[in-house]
Amino acid sequence: MRKGDLNYMGKRFFTYLSIIISAFVLISACNKSGKAGDASDTSKPVKITVEVFDRGTDGGKTDPANNEWTKWIKAKILKDENIEVEFIPISRWDENTALNNLIASGTPPDLCLTYSAELVGNYRDLGGLFDMEPYIDTVLKDLKDFLGPDEALPGRDMIRRNQDSVTGAVYSIPARRMNVAQNNLFIRKDWLDKLGLPIPQTPEEYFNTLVAFKEKDPGGVGKNRVIPFTMTVDVRWTASIILNSFIDPSLDMKDRWINTIVDRYFLLPGYKEGFRYLNRMYNAGLIDRDFPIYKFEDEYDTLIKSGVVGSMCHNWDQIFRDSKMLLADLQKNAPGAELVAIDPMKSSDGVTHKYAYDAAGILFFIPITCKNPVAAMRYINWLARYENSSFLQIGPEGIVHEMSDGIPKIKAATGMWIQNSPQNIDYTIHILGLDLGDPEKNIRGIANAYPWSEDIITAAFKTAITNARPGPVVPATLSAAGPYSQTLVDKGNIISTLAVTASPENFDRVWDIGITDWLESGAQIILDERKAKYIEP
């Protein structure tokens, strides 16, 4: 493909998409007669479709759209609200492309989810999203009460976090994060013990520890099979603790926000040096040579479970998740194996800076193609009622959890009761993290939310939140990123791969060429808009 073809194809796609959405807007305007559609005959159930992430849980044997959880939801929402729900599974690892294709074909779910604010902004600007603002104080009252005030934007409710600063419309609503811990760097503690090595406390000690893993094969897997560190093509996430530690800690919030493009930190001072560190690791034979082909996490997970990997980076709780079974299967394949969270990546000021999540999480929105938007909002509001979200998070006692001192302790569920994600966040789309109805119980419940000992969960959580802070929140309405976001994500992966695998003498040239192309592919346009629209919080 010639240089520029990807941008050209992206622009053609969004031009086509705008035509499709415009047609639906006209049709909707003709059909609504001034009201958001809902069934006129209240005796008949209203039907809606709801997106659910397919994470390949349980090796793909568990259907996220048809299991005990979805059966419970369907039965109870029909009884409580007279709404029939059909779940539409979409790959978590290909969500943006899948949503683009569904919207282009005019068949998106009535209620959609995404972590991409740029995707939402693009559909908003094309006129493809339903405005929920008129219903916040009525149809969405329970949700509004649950989300509460927005601590990042004093004076605003969380439900209005994404309110258009000009029109006042609300086209998307964020979930509330109960736990803002983000990432951890894990290491094989049993390998350290075998070599008589302490837990590394600095970047150089971490590097030297991986060298020892490579040279001495403490797991006895064979020197040619040892993988000191593995990651996927999504380097910015699966090496996040390493990369982010190199960002200039003195960078102010304004410059940090302006220079963060499609949730990528390529333009932040110091980030390049994080890639230089990874490049050094790669050229020393410490990084899995096949990482560029790991678009999804199947191969990555399999390697960790097989016992050949010495260290990895991911979600703070990734190894404990029942849906992934990383630590459980590792211990089956390598008895005595132990993965622990470590914190060696000190920034230039000697502090282990890392990111925490913002309290606002995944976004949900209603496409203009939805025939019954009020029913979709009633569904979200129904989820926000504690009796419903609580059951979905902890399930039936004796099957999914046991009670311990008044706190539910999650068991390793099997079969149709396996949770698609921790605390079923793919079904409880208004909340990320365990909610036991009381802040003190929530803290105690974090450790009990996994079928592992309280000590190792608590240690991992404390490591993840040590010196962690969320990125800046700015109440600006942005539009530029939409048509470029997927191109920039894809090219960002290419930049990352080429920078890590370059020869040391070519690193700077490869990086500079990649960043120049990234800017020319839309990042500069987004950067200019962020500079122009920055607002002091």
One pLDDT digit (tens) per residue for the chain, 537 residues: 444 444 444 455 455 555 555 555 444 444 443 356 554 456 899 999 999 999 887 776 789 999 999 999 999 999 999 999 999 999 988 888 899 899 889 999 999 999 999 999 999 999 999 999 999 999 999 999 999 999 999 999 999 999 998 899 999 999 999 999 999 999 999 999 999 999 999 999 999 999 999 999 999 999 999 999 999 999 999 999 999 999 999 999 999 999 999 999 999 999 999 999 999 999 999 999 999 999 989 999 999 999 999 999 999 999 999 888 999 999 999 999 999 999 999 999 999 999 999 999 999 999 999 999 999 999 999 999 999 999 999 999 999 999 988 999 988 777 889 988 889 999 999 999 999 988 888 888 888 888 898 899 999 999 999 999 999 999 999 999 989 999 999 999 999 999 999 999 999 999 999 999 999 999 999 999 999 999 987
C-alpha 421/C-alpha 455 separation (Å) is 22
**What's residue 6's pLDDT?**
43
Beta strand 46-54 with 83-91 is parallel
Q: Which token pair is 355?
A: 């990111």
Does the pTM of the predicted model rise above 0.95? Answer: no
User: Which residues are CB-neighbours of 511 under 8 A, at least 6 positions away?
Assistant: 272, 275, 495, 499, 502
Predicted confidence at residue 30, as pLDDT, reads 40
Q: Which of 159, 123, 135 is nearest to 374 (CA)?
A: 135
Multiple choice CATH, 5-179+360-390, 3.30.710.10, 3.30.70.1350, 2.60.120.10, 3.40.190.10: 3.40.190.10
Give pLDDT tens digits for 135-177. Answer: 999 999 999 999 999 999 999 999 999 999 889 999 999 999 9
Indicate the CATH number of 183-355+471-533 among 3.40.190.10, 1.10.132.20, 3.40.50.150, 3.30.1330.20: 3.40.190.10
At 323, give phi and psi (nearest 5°).
-70, -25
User: What angle in degrees, to the nearest 10, is found between the helix axes of 386-394 and 373-383?
Assistant: 70
- For residue 94, CA distances in Å to 39, 175, 370, 375 come to 33, 20, 22, 27
Do the domains 183-355+471-533 and 5-179+360-390 match in fold?
Answer: yes
Beta strands in 133-192 (DSSP E): 173-177, 183-188
Q: Residue 114 in 3-state DSSP? A: strand
Residue 177, CB half-sphere, CA atoms under 13 Å: how many? Answer: 16
pLDDT of residue 403: 93
Residue type, 125: D
Q: What is the pLDDT of residue 15?
A: 53
Q: Is 437 helix (H, G, I), strand (E, B) or coil?
A: coil
Taking the C-alpha atoms of residue 80 and residue 142, their distance in angstroms, rounded to an integer, is 14
> Is 435 in contact with 390 (CB distance < 8 Å)?
yes
Tell me if 159 sits within 8 A of 170, measured CB to CB.
yes
With b for 16 or more beta-carbon neighbours within 10 A and e for fewer, the 250-282 pattern comes to eeeeebbbbbbbbbbbbbbebbbebbbbbbebb
Helix 117-125 with 95-104: angle, nearest 10 deg: 20
Shortest CA distance to 287 belongs to which of 206, 344, 230, 243?
230
> Which of 431, 370, 389 is CA-nearest to residue 159?
431
Rounded to the nearest angstrom, the gap between the alpha carbon of residue 6 and the centroid of all alpha carbons in its chain is: 25
**H or E stretch covering 258:** helix 253-258
Q: Which two tokens stand for residue 379?
A: 């569904």
Structural element, H or E, at residue 146:
helix 141-147
For residue 134, count other CB atoms closer than 10 A to its CB. Answer: 13
Predicted local distance difference test score (pLDDT) of residue 411: 86
Residues 31-64 as b or e (16 or more Cβ within 10 Å = b): eeeeebbbbeeeeebbebbbbbbbbbbbeeebbb
Token representation of residue 89? 């599974």
Query: For strand 401-404 and strand 407-410, is the pairing parallel, antiparallel, or unpaired?
Result: antiparallel
Over its C-alpha atoms, the chain yields an Rg (Å, rounded) of: 24
The rounded distance, in Å, linking the Cα atoms of 312 and 228 is 9
Cα separation, 263 vs 117, in Å, equals 9
pLDDT value at residue 24: 52
Closest to 319 (Cα-Cα) out of 434, 451, 217: 451
Per-residue pLDDT, 442: 87
How far is the C-alpha of 252 from the C-alpha of 536, rounded, in Å? 12
Q: What is the pLDDT of residue 5?
A: 45
Confidence (pLDDT) at 27: 44
pLDDT of residue 73: 99
In the block, residue with structure tokens 């005030």: 149
**Partners of 468 in beta bridges:** 354
- How far does CA 399 lie from the centroid of its chain? 28
Within a 13 Å sphere around the CA of 82, how many CA atoms are in the beta-carbon half?
Answer: 11
Are 93 and 294 in contact by the 8 Å Cβ rule? The answer is no
List CB contacts of 359: < 8 A, sequence separation 6 or more.
150, 151, 152, 158, 176, 177, 180, 470
Contact assessment for residue 339 and residue 317, using Cβ atoms and an 8 Å cutoff: no
Domain ranges of the chain: 5-179+360-390, 183-355+471-533
